[in-house]
């Protein structure tokens, strides 16, 4: 009976731990993750870097979970796409904390692409029609993601 109780406690604790975070793509750990502020500082020269970052998920693609945006802390966000379109994240992950590893870089984003992302996010046609210009943006291609509950 004592052994059964021990096994039951271990199973409950294991399920509680696994419920606290989910992995997507390449298996990664949280070790060495930097904040969004540190990422912005490290990319201030415009060069591409390999890095692990932690941040709050602002929005997730509502079509498939094929991208997420992370709050940068200045009222803007950074779009995170997933390497080779190889995995997706849950569409209900907005507001959760994510740890993601991959490459950060700057890229030109067209009006058409921004409108496509707005559509994926479930924005109204009125909101989509307000998008009038693209520009250069900090972007991220993640190889692996951890989403913490």
Contact assessment for residue 84 and residue 144, using Cβ atoms and an 8 Å cutoff: no
Angle of CA points 66, 138, 46, to nearest 5°: 145
Q: Identify the H or E element spanning 37.
A: helix 36-42
Say which CATH architecture domain 21-148 belongs to.
Beta Barrel (2.40)
What does pTM read for this prediction? 0.78
pLDDT tens for the 149 residues of the chain, in order = 555 444 343 444 444 444 478 999 999 999 999 999 999 999 999 999 999 999 999 999 999 999 999 999 888 899 999 999 999 999 999 999 999 999 999 999 899 999 998 998 889 999 999 999 988 899 999 999 999 98
Question: What's the rounded Cα separation, in Å, for the pair 84 and 73?
Answer: 28
CB 100 within 8 A of CB 141: no
């Amino acid at each position: 009976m004592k052994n059964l109780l021990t096994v039951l406690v271990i199973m409950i604790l294991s399920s509680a731990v696994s419920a606290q975070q989910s992995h997507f793509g390449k298996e990664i750990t949280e070790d060495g993750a930097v904040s969004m502020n540190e990422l912005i500082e490290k990319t201030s020269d415009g060069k591409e870097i390999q890095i692990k970052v932690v941040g709050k998920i602002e929005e997730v693609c509502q079509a498939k979970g094929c991208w997420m945006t992370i709050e940068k802390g200045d009222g803007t966000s950074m779009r995170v796409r997933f390497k080779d379109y190889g995995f997706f994240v849950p569409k209900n992950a907005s507001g959760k904390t994510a740890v993601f590893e991959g490459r950060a870089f700057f890229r030109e984003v067209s009006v058409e692409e921004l409108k496509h992302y707005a559509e994926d996010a479930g924005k109204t046609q009125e909101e989509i029609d307000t998008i009038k210009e693209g520009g250069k943006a900090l972007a991220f291609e993640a190889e692996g993601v951890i989403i913490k509950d």
